[in-house]
Structure 1
């Protein structure tokens, strides 16, 4: 009997995991952040099951949101299918929710967490369909409406040895294309923002919400103050929407362009355009550098932005849409 008691005592001493405080385990869960992995952790033990819902930093990856309709070249059709798919993702039809919602549905997964402060949602693809060789990167900050949007567009990243017939791009001739780029990015940003409405309302402790895509095309960010604005607007019935997206206010677009930008590693970016968008009631043009570098402060995009900020700018104003 003494020998058995001694053996049991040794096992208890070896199992020191339960001695870890809840705060340390929650720190580990916040570092994991991936919702699917955290859900699996709930089955480990009763203790994990009770602690996982308290995780504050989460990352949700959406596997598929675009329907076959999006094969159309129509930008409207693409956004329509994207909106419908993601809207169903976050807010299923109440008539079918009860019978169709499974344990793995995103709406139910998010509802299992009650202390979300930092949430990142990743879509499987970007929203824009561009002509061959064109690349657009954008980042938009929102409150109840658009606060700012920084757009960086270029034709290609090329090596100087590879000459092409259309290397020289005339800015005036391409202005229409660049305006279309900017409007398309704003529509994509406002559509993503609208889709976050229910998530913002349901998780009132959230302090930061970011929606990105796996391709790195666009980012919508809502910080603490912006989230507060969203909730107040929702309570007051002031959340403006038009066809499944947030209304873009009257904006001022400050555009800069460079035909070719040589980067430090010898690579050239061609037809590079930087657009800083702010509501007409927003701050002064002196904020351009801060916004642009904040959106694209590192890597080759940051290099391009620093060059473009030294260039002459063109101002365009656009009515609310």
Structure 2
């Protein structure tokens, strides 16, 4: 008997969970009958979307690479439709070829799933850094956005008419917020089919390798999204079916024109925005909750230091209608 055959199935499944890479596990299906029967029971997966399609790539490479093309086209289409929407009188259900749901169809007991995109969705002015983390159920629950124009060892000269007060750069910061919410809602829409088909999911994360944006769906949010089911929505209402509609939101915004950090670093135009649906209400406790959400999203390293300082700054409350 082969010594490997003596290993119990639970131990092999633990190894598969540690491997987690979807493409590798799909290849393992062809190794043996035993692997073919065990791989579908892996409960922890990472689906990585590749950037390049090589001429000699195998079938799985093509599937994952084609997913990138579809996903990016999906997100860009939502941005275009926001600028020039074109209502379609006959709504149809759009299916993305080689979508995550189709790739994961051979896995039956997935509990934890991470999907990695190769790059972010936002294209901001040079030097600007914008990061966001959004939590969803059937729609947006919370979104934390952290942005600043530049970071360096010496402070840039502060012009009299620049962001010397809150109103000075408000338009730019609102654009940052809307851009992040559009990117988050487009990613969430991409996940709905996965949520419906993978009934055992307990945690789902969609992120990009640049660390720009992250969509998180925890157990309660997954249940809420799953219970929503196949809701028929007019394409015009959901922006040509390219993204989840963002509800009316209340945004708590903090902004400091210039921050000095440890080690002599200076951050220019630091902004922290915590977004919640308007129906959640507000009040005095919101500031405490803002701190918990912001530190959970960006609590480490340089970003954590920026967040700690911004949480001490004066906050401004803004409201935005559904879009």
- Report the TM-score range of the alignment, normalised by the length of the smaller protein: 0.7 to 0.9
Q: Where in structure 2 are there 5+ consecutive unaligned residues?
A: 52-67, 84-93
Radius of gyration: which is bigger?
Answer: 1
Matched, 1:178 2:173: yes
Distance 1:51 1:78, change over 3 A: farther
Query: Which digits, 9 at most, give the CA deviation of each residue in 1:69-111, with x for residues without a partner?
Result: 98xx99833999xxxxxxxxx9346xxxxxxx7xxx8554311
Give the match for residue 56 of structure 2. none
- TM-score normalised by length of structure 1: 0.81
Give the match for residue 250 of structure 1. 248
What is the SS of the residue equivalent to 1:228? helix
Give the distance between the partners of 2:313 and 2:167, measured in 1 at CA: 15
Distance 1:306 1:196, change over 3 A: same
Give the distance between the partners of 2:203 and 2:249, measured in 1 at CA: 24
- TM-score normalised by length of structure 2: 0.80
Give the match for residue 62 of structure 1. 49
Give the match for residue 238 of structure 2. 241
Give the match for residue 9 of structure 2. 22
Q: CA RMSD in A?
A: 2.8
Give the match for residue 201 of structure 1. 196
* CA shift for structure 1 position 66: 4.7
Give the match for residue 95 of structure 2. 91
Q: Is the 8 A contact 1:254 1:314 kept in 2?
A: yes
Give the match for residue 319 of structure 1. 321
Distance 1:56 1:49, change over 3 A: same
Give the match for residue 261 of structure 2. 263
Q: Where in structure 1 are there 5+ consecutive unaligned residues?
A: 1-11, 81-89, 94-100
Query: Which digits, 9 at most, give the CA deviation of each residue in 1:98-155, with x for residues without a partner?
Result: xxx7xxx855431111111111111121111101111100000000011000000001
Matched, 1:131 2:125: yes
Query: Which digits, 9 at most, give the CA deviation of each residue in 1:161-212, with x for residues without a partner?
Result: x745769632321111001100110111111111111111111111111110
Q: Is the 8 A contact 1:212 1:220 kept in 2?
A: yes
Give the distance between the partners of 2:100 and 2:250, measured in 1 at CA: 37
